[in-house]
Amino acid sequence: MTVILLRHGVSTSNTARTLAGRAPGVELTERGTEQAAAVADRLAMLPIEHIASSPLLRCQRTVAPLAEKLGLEPDHDERLIEVDYGDWTGRPIAELVTEPLWRIVQGHASGAVFPGGEGLAQVQQRAVAAIRDIERTLAEKAGRDVLW
Protein backbone atom coordinates (compact mmCIF):
# COMPACT_ATOMS: atom_id res chain seq x y z
CA MET A 1 0.00 0.00 0.00
CA THR A 2 1.04 3.55 -0.62
CA VAL A 3 -0.44 6.28 1.54
CA ILE A 4 -0.20 9.99 0.78
CA LEU A 5 -0.58 12.10 3.90
CA LEU A 6 -1.92 15.56 3.21
CA ARG A 7 -2.43 18.45 5.61
CA HIS A 8 -5.36 20.80 5.11
CA GLY A 9 -4.83 24.12 3.36
CA VAL A 10 -4.38 27.40 5.19
CA SER A 11 -7.40 27.92 7.43
CA THR A 12 -9.07 30.87 9.08
CA SER A 13 -7.65 29.62 12.37
CA ASN A 14 -4.13 29.61 10.92
CA THR A 15 -4.41 33.23 9.87
CA ALA A 16 -6.04 34.20 13.19
CA ARG A 17 -3.13 32.42 14.93
CA THR A 18 -5.43 30.35 17.11
CA LEU A 19 -5.41 26.65 17.92
CA ALA A 20 -8.41 25.33 15.97
CA GLY A 21 -8.44 21.75 17.16
CA ARG A 22 -11.92 20.39 16.65
CA ALA A 23 -13.67 23.76 16.67
CA PRO A 24 -16.54 23.70 14.17
CA GLY A 25 -16.75 25.99 11.16
CA VAL A 26 -13.04 26.56 10.60
CA GLU A 27 -12.89 27.26 6.87
CA LEU A 28 -10.11 27.43 4.34
CA THR A 29 -8.90 30.89 3.46
CA GLU A 30 -8.67 31.98 -0.16
CA ARG A 31 -5.05 30.80 -0.09
CA GLY A 32 -6.12 27.46 1.40
CA THR A 33 -8.68 27.00 -1.38
CA GLU A 34 -5.94 27.72 -3.94
CA GLN A 35 -3.71 25.15 -2.23
CA ALA A 36 -6.48 22.53 -2.37
CA ALA A 37 -6.94 23.15 -6.10
CA ALA A 38 -3.18 23.01 -6.70
CA VAL A 39 -2.75 19.72 -4.84
CA ALA A 40 -5.68 18.28 -6.79
CA ASP A 41 -3.97 19.26 -10.06
CA ARG A 42 -0.70 17.76 -8.85
CA LEU A 43 -2.10 14.46 -7.56
CA ALA A 44 -4.90 13.83 -10.07
CA MET A 45 -2.48 12.08 -12.43
CA LEU A 46 -1.80 9.37 -9.82
CA PRO A 47 -3.88 6.19 -9.67
CA ILE A 48 -5.43 7.09 -6.31
CA GLU A 49 -8.25 4.71 -5.44
CA HIS A 50 -9.43 5.92 -2.04
CA ILE A 51 -9.55 9.19 -0.13
CA ALA A 52 -9.90 9.15 3.66
CA SER A 53 -9.93 12.37 5.63
CA SER A 54 -10.82 13.96 8.89
CA PRO A 55 -14.48 15.00 9.01
CA LEU A 56 -13.50 18.57 9.91
CA LEU A 57 -14.69 21.20 7.44
CA ARG A 58 -11.22 22.46 6.55
CA CYS A 59 -10.17 18.90 5.71
CA GLN A 60 -13.30 18.17 3.68
CA ARG A 61 -12.71 21.37 1.70
CA THR A 62 -9.06 20.39 1.10
CA VAL A 63 -9.80 16.96 -0.37
CA ALA A 64 -12.96 17.96 -2.29
CA PRO A 65 -11.21 19.18 -5.49
CA LEU A 66 -9.09 16.03 -5.70
CA ALA A 67 -12.06 13.78 -5.02
CA GLU A 68 -14.03 15.55 -7.73
CA LYS A 69 -11.21 15.19 -10.28
CA LEU A 70 -10.87 11.49 -9.48
CA GLY A 71 -14.59 10.78 -9.24
CA LEU A 72 -14.20 9.47 -5.69
CA GLU A 73 -16.39 9.94 -2.63
CA PRO A 74 -14.13 10.81 0.34
CA ASP A 75 -14.41 8.68 3.46
CA HIS A 76 -14.61 11.18 6.34
CA ASP A 77 -13.24 9.00 9.12
CA GLU A 78 -13.69 10.15 12.74
CA ARG A 79 -10.48 8.34 13.71
CA LEU A 80 -8.52 10.80 11.56
CA ILE A 81 -9.91 13.86 13.31
CA GLU A 82 -7.67 16.55 14.77
CA VAL A 83 -6.30 16.42 18.29
CA ASP A 84 -8.83 17.26 20.99
CA TYR A 85 -7.07 20.24 22.53
CA GLY A 86 -9.76 20.53 25.19
CA ASP A 87 -9.43 23.82 27.08
CA TRP A 88 -6.83 25.02 24.59
CA THR A 89 -9.23 24.91 21.63
CA GLY A 90 -9.68 28.30 20.00
CA ARG A 91 -7.10 30.05 22.16
CA PRO A 92 -4.48 32.35 20.61
CA ILE A 93 -1.08 30.72 20.06
CA ALA A 94 0.62 33.80 21.57
CA GLU A 95 -1.22 33.04 24.81
CA LEU A 96 -0.50 29.32 24.73
CA VAL A 97 3.28 29.72 24.39
CA THR A 98 3.31 31.07 27.95
CA GLU A 99 1.74 27.87 29.33
CA PRO A 100 4.17 25.39 30.98
CA LEU A 101 2.66 22.58 28.86
CA TRP A 102 3.82 24.37 25.70
CA ARG A 103 7.43 23.38 26.43
CA ILE A 104 6.39 19.74 26.72
CA VAL A 105 4.43 19.94 23.45
CA GLN A 106 7.50 21.35 21.69
CA GLY A 107 10.17 19.17 23.34
CA HIS A 108 8.46 15.88 24.14
CA ALA A 109 5.15 15.85 22.24
CA SER A 110 4.24 12.27 23.12
CA GLY A 111 4.23 13.29 26.80
CA ALA A 112 1.67 16.07 26.30
CA VAL A 113 -1.91 15.67 27.45
CA PHE A 114 -4.12 18.69 26.87
CA PRO A 115 -6.30 19.87 29.77
CA GLY A 116 -9.82 18.66 29.10
CA GLY A 117 -8.60 17.00 25.90
CA GLU A 118 -6.46 14.10 24.78
CA GLY A 119 -2.80 13.20 24.79
CA LEU A 120 -0.66 13.28 21.67
CA ALA A 121 0.36 9.65 22.25
CA GLN A 122 -3.36 8.76 22.11
CA VAL A 123 -3.70 10.67 18.85
CA GLN A 124 -0.78 8.76 17.36
CA GLN A 125 -2.25 5.40 18.38
CA ARG A 126 -5.68 6.36 17.03
CA ALA A 127 -4.37 7.60 13.68
CA VAL A 128 -1.95 4.73 13.10
CA ALA A 129 -4.66 2.18 13.96
CA ALA A 130 -7.03 3.90 11.51
CA ILE A 131 -4.46 3.86 8.71
CA ARG A 132 -3.66 0.19 9.29
CA ASP A 133 -7.37 -0.67 9.36
CA ILE A 134 -8.07 1.25 6.14
CA GLU A 135 -5.08 -0.40 4.45
CA ARG A 136 -6.26 -3.85 5.50
CA THR A 137 -9.79 -3.15 4.23
CA LEU A 138 -8.53 -1.81 0.90
CA ALA A 139 -6.13 -4.75 0.43
CA GLU A 140 -8.92 -7.25 1.11
CA LYS A 141 -11.31 -5.47 -1.24
CA ALA A 142 -8.81 -4.94 -4.08
CA GLY A 143 -6.67 -8.03 -3.62
CA ARG A 144 -3.57 -5.95 -4.30
CA ASP A 145 -1.71 -2.83 -3.23
CA VAL A 146 -3.69 0.39 -3.46
CA LEU A 147 -2.64 4.03 -3.58
CA TRP A 148 -4.75 6.09 -1.25
Q: Give tens-digit pLDDT for 5-20.
A: 999 999 999 999 999 9
What's the half-sphere exposure (Cβ side, CA atoms, 13 Å) at 83?
24
Give 1's pLDDT tier (boundaries 50, 70, 90). confident
Q: What is the arithmetic mean of pLDDT over 58-65?
A: 98
pLDDT of residue 99: 96
pLDDT of residue 55: 97
- Structurally, at CATH architecture level, domain 12-142 sits in 3-Layer(aba) Sandwich (3.40)
Q: Which residues contact 29 (CB under 8 A, 6 or more apart)?
A: 9, 10, 11, 12, 14, 15
Asked if 99 and 93 touch (Cβ cutoff 8 Å), the reply is: no
Q: Which residues contact 74 (CB under 8 A, 6 or more apart)?
A: 51, 52, 53, 60, 63, 64, 67
Name the residue among 60, 57, 64 with its Cα closest to residue 27: 57
Task: For 71-109, write each residue's pLDDT tens digit.
Answer: 999 999 999 999 999 999 999 999 999 999 999 999 999
Q: What is the pTM of this model?
A: 0.93
Q: Which residues contact 12 (CB under 8 A, 6 or more apart)?
A: 26, 27, 28, 29
Q: What is the arithmetic mean of pLDDT over 15-38?
A: 97
Whole-number average pLDDT of the chain:
96
Active site residues: 8, 82
Asked if 104 and 121 touch (Cβ cutoff 8 Å), the reply is: no
Q: Would you list the domain boundaries of the chain?
A: 12-142
